[in-house]
Copies of this chain bind each other. A is one copy, B any other.
């Protein structure tokens, strides 16, 4: 059973966590203790476009958690949306404290219990065990769920098979693709569910920030085998993920090695689906990666690998 506590909770983050595109290392042991929190904070999507993000782990996407099949996650999360640092800010900017929750797609639990909403200042504690390998979404499940998702409450869990993912790779990266539905409010923006209900985003991003890997590409070496942990958090549209100049040697749909495709030019990943792609950049150069649903690439779902 989940428990909810109200005593001050000072620790804000622990566990096998990292921020994308980095991937955390596994922790040993049958149980891993994991904590991250929720806060409300101005988030810059791209230069000149900011909105009040509702964030897991102070980040969009939230921190990546990595565990392996059989490990039990002893999880806790504090809703810090009433954080004093926010007190002076404009309440029209969606900074108001509010309930939040977390739903792990990697878990098999009673959502009514574990995924329930907590109030600002409260901390929820529950445990779950990873049963299936893959790349899974987590997100806030507090109604209106669509609003909590487009406000940034999304993230990735990587679950390794008990014996690790098969095969050796040289490099690992994580990419979370998300859609923005923003409406201007003065010199800021705000997530707008009426736009989201039409499924027509105005910005798209890899790891939350439009164009960040065009400005600062991800560097690898030509010939290295790269494993990409990919998650489409939507909330609405498919991604047809593609790396210009190469072909995915192996693809594991939802990140499970049993769901293998080979030799793919593009991987169709639905909203709330994951995939692991392995590939090589064959020679030195710049390799742009895109959502080949190309309007999405033009709206920001584009980045660059540089092979040195």
Binding site for B on A (CB under 8 A): 103, 105-115, 131-134, 136-137, 141, 144-146, 149, 193, 196-200, 234-238, 240, 242, 244-247, 253-254, 256, 258-259, 261-266, 268-274, 280, 282-288, 292-299, 307
A146 to B298, CA, bound (A): 7
Min C-beta distance of A129 to chain B, whole Å: 10
16 A-B Cβ contacts within 8 A? A107-B245, A108-B245, A108-B247, A109-B283, A110-B287, A111-B245, A145-B294, A193-B298, A198-B200, A198-B295, A199-B293, A199-B295, A236-B295, A256-B262, A268-B269, A268-B270
A256 to B265, CA, bound (A): 10
Hey, which chain B residues are within 8 Å of A293, CB to CB?
Answer: 199, 234-237, 270-271
Closest B residue to A69 by beta carbon equals: B263
Say yes or no: B266 contacts A258, CB within 8 Å: no
Say yes or no: B197 contacts A265, CB within 8 Å: no
Say yes or no: A108 contacts B246, CB within 8 Å: yes
A112 to B149, CA, bound (A): 36
Hey, which chain B residues are within 8 Å of A282, CB to CB?
Answer: 108-110
Please judge, given known A-B contacts A285-B110, A285-B111, whether A266 and B256 are in contact too, CB under 8 Å. Answer: no
Please judge, given known A-B contacts A146-B298, A199-B293, A237-B293, whether A273 and B265 are in contact too, CB under 8 Å. Answer: yes
Hey, which chain B residues are within 8 Å of A197, CB to CB?
Answer: 295, 298-299
Hey, which chain B residues are within 8 Å of A246, CB to CB?
Answer: 108
Specify how many copies of this chain sit in the oligomer.
3
Choose among A106, A111, A196, A292 the residue with the greatest number of B CB atoms under 10 Å from its CB: A292
Among B145, B240, B262, the residue within 8 A (CB) of A270 is: B240
Choose among A234, A245, A256, A296 the residue with the greatest number of B CB atoms under 10 Å from its CB: A245
Please judge, given known A-B contacts A244-B111, A270-B292, A273-B240, whether A298 and B254 are in contact too, CB under 8 Å. Answer: no
Extra A-B contacts (19), CB below 8 Å, given A113-B285, A141-B244, A242-B272: A106-B247, A110-B282, A110-B307, A111-B285, A111-B286, A111-B287, A114-B245, A145-B297, A145-B298, A193-B298, A199-B200, A237-B293, A238-B268, A240-B271, A253-B264, A254-B263, A259-B263, A271-B292, A271-B294
Please judge, given known A-B contacts A246-B108, A295-B199, A298-B146, whether A266 and B272 are in contact too, CB under 8 Å. Answer: yes
A270 to B107, CA, bound (A): 26
Please judge, given known A-B contacts A197-B295, A256-B262, whether A240 and B112 are in contact too, CB under 8 Å. Answer: no
Among B113, B137, B288, the residue within 8 A (CB) of A265 is: B137
